[in-house]
Structure 1
Amino acid sequence: MIMDNWISIKIAAQGPFDLKRTFESGHSSFPIPLKDKQDRWYLVMRPTSINTVIITRVAQQGSNLVAEISCPQRELKENEVQSMKKILRTTFGLQLNLAAFIEEFKKDPIAPAFELYRGIRLTRAHNLFQSLICSILTQRNSIWRWNAQARTMAKLLGEKYPVGHFLIYSFPEAKTIVNHSELLTKASLGYREEYVLETAKTLANKEKKLEKLKKVPTNEAQNALLELKGVGTKVADMFLLYGLGKMDAPPVDIWIQRAVSHLFFKKKEQTLAVCRDKLNEHYGKWAGLAQLYIYCWARDHLK
């Protein structure tokens, strides 16, 4: 089906906003979307609150996010369009007052990163199951490789939708992965394949259980995630921050460990747990956002 009934939505940002940099930062809860020649990125979204597939293409106009949405199955109701506006605002981190964060930490050790990576936003999942699987795929993996693996999973197991001159794919549901597990091998996930399949089995027909984690304290949510096979502290925190938006769960990998040790402990290497605690202590309610800027800085400056 060719999409031709697009509904336009415009969302203003508080503070700097750079959609391209946000996608290319690689720190996200979903793979970098496909882009057309008009610099519009395409996503297949299935919001829990609307319970239908919505094809979304996004672009930047000035400091605004301009989104166009289309439902392949039916016309969207006005209340659903308004719901999508709220979802898109949080998906691209536009509900966060980035200007206030920058002002509060303008004399902080990471302040130079605010200009170097100006406008990068903290994204949040539009599909919690996809976010959890992508978090699992990040284990001992490069940004570009886990992105490729997630896209391959969608191509092998998801639904396809033609837009313009190319196809985009939805991310598969847990039950689909379980029912067609033989296709996972073609996604070249390596040892992560077992973790993905076991997580899918646990959540098959129970994906809404992930929604409930939004309402519980971060430590309790983390403990629940750690019960899943292959999910350690860093993967759990990736999902808690980029999936559920819990700002007090900054994921700490080797880049964050190096950077926090360098910036706050006179280059003396600290444990992952100490670095996580330091981020929460120093940045408070902004810890998750600070982690994103520290990660970008560390990747470019601490080779």
Structure 2
Amino acid sequence: MDLQSADHHQGLPASMLSDDELERQGARAHATRNWVFLHGSADQFRHHTERMLELEREYLRRHPKRTWQGAGGAGPERVSRVEQIRQAVRSFQTQMDALLAELAQAEPVQAARTGPTAAVNRFLGRFADTPDGRLHKLEAHQTARELGLSPTEVATLYKLDPPLLATHGADRVLTAAGRARLVERTWIRETPARWNAAKAAVFGDLDPALFGIHAEADAPLGDEWWRVEDGTGVVGYGRLDESWGDAEILLVVAPGSHGSGVGAFILDRLEHEAAARDINYVYNVVPDGHPARARTASWLRDHGFTENADGELRKRVLGDGVRGETASP
């Protein structure tokens, strides 16, 4: 099925459709719902749900004594339109829960699949990369598909002892055990720090000159540098430049590890390093030429940084190795 092959009537508001077209689109929406849920993107599924509700509301407005299956049953004429819509929404939620349960139970759980894998770590990292370690179940399902994880592998993460993920209502949440697994990444101080092939690979298309870095083979680098390694190799770097009681930080994540929680790991370690040095604030200035300037600034704000009038994004750090609370500079 091709989601792009919609007919030309689909974009019209439901109120502008003829009775025949309204009924045809409503029937088609119901017929394709499971396919869109299982194979479409999260955006496609959301759009499909919104369109289906729009069609059903308009159908009920025109035909208050009918349902999509026809008149009869418990007497829909005695049921208010609001209650009919509520019943439809509840049925959608029940359907989604049933489909997710079916996916989770599609194959028996195999303990042998719980060993460390890059895909599982990236999946858990997506949770870790959010401020509260949680994703909506549809977003989690879509993320697993993007990373090539089977329903069995995902289900295993909930069934381990202790589990790496937990269910909280409609959300899926990273547990303490899940975070501990990600901490298996190593934080290695570089003394002395020099520009090398590993750094070039992590920076990728990001121009080092934007951050005042002289990118010449074996060139010495100022400030304090750390690298992050996991089972796949070097996945990121962190830099701390202390001055006058504050410190400018730099976080760089390898292109293949974006969205896996490496950035959150580097930020956490840099904050601990700053706190151990009794630094008051860490800050970052995203340069104008940065190819993802807006997204990077948004990510920092999501992780507790506050932007001042000079364009610096700052976060307070407490001493004694304790990460600080968000505060205005």
**Fold equivalence (TM over 0.5):** no
TM category, shorter: under 0.3
The higher radius of gyration belongs to 2
Structure 2 length as normaliser, TM-score? 0.24
